[in-house]
Amino acid sequence: MDPGQRKRAIRALWIVGAVAVIAVVVTAWWRWDYRNHHARHTSLIDKVWLSDDDRTVSVETSWYPHCDGARPQLVAQESSGTVILRLERGMELKVPCDNEAGSINQVSVTLHSTLGSRRLVDASTGWDLKPSPR
């Protein structure tokens, strides 16, 4: 390979590498922006209650059995400073079916230890949740 070809090959590799890096950065930014925008508008958790023993967290959510699939489940991810609540549904969320009344349901999860001074956080929005008094 003569020096001119080698120089062009190295330049081409730099260009391909730069384009690949830009593509990765743009894709990562787009996914982050989409996720954050989507999360700001899709909180599934409405009202939140904490039991007297400070271990059972309950939330109110709407559920359309024939459209949403299985009954939603509340999942808690606990750490020393936070409890992150995530509402899981059996299927992808869909627009409520015609001629079907949705129902408001309460779902609960029992924590491994009391909530205490830990923050309660909505996983879909990242916002702090404040339990309502019963």
Domains: count for the chain? 2
**Same-domain status, 32 and 53:** no
**Same-domain status, 28 and 64:** no
Q: Are 72 and 61 in contact (CB under 8 A)?
A: yes
**Same-domain status, 65 and 28:** no
DSSP secondary structure code for residue 128 in this structure:
B
Q: Give dist(CA 28, CA 34) in Å, integer.
A: 10
**Same-domain status, 63 and 107:** yes
Q: Measured in whole angstroms, how far is the alpha carbon of residue 99 from the centre of its chain?
A: 30
Residue 99: its pLDDT value, please? 46
Residue 40: its pLDDT value, please? 45
Does residue 13 belong to any structural domain of this protein? yes
Domain range enclosing 18: 1-41
Residue 12: its pLDDT value, please? 94
Residue 67: its pLDDT value, please? 61
Does residue 37 belong to any structural domain of this protein? yes
Residue 29: its pLDDT value, please? 84
**Same-domain status, 29 and 93:** no
Phi-psi sector, 99: left (phi>0), alpha (psi -120 to 50), beta: left
Does residue 115 belong to any structural domain of this protein? yes
Does residue 57 belong to any structural domain of this protein? yes
Q: pLDDT tens, position by position, for the chain (134 residues)? A: 788 899 999 999 999 999 999 999 998 888 777 665 544 444 567 689 999 889 999 988 776 665 656 677 889 999 999 999 988 876 554 455 554 555 667 889 999 999 999 999 988 888 888 888 66
Residue 103: its pLDDT value, please? 66
Residue 104: its pLDDT value, please? 66
Does the pTM exceed 0.75? no
Residue 30: its pLDDT value, please? 81
**Same-domain status, 117 and 52:** yes
Query: Would you give the end-to-end CA distance of the chain in angstroms?
Result: 80
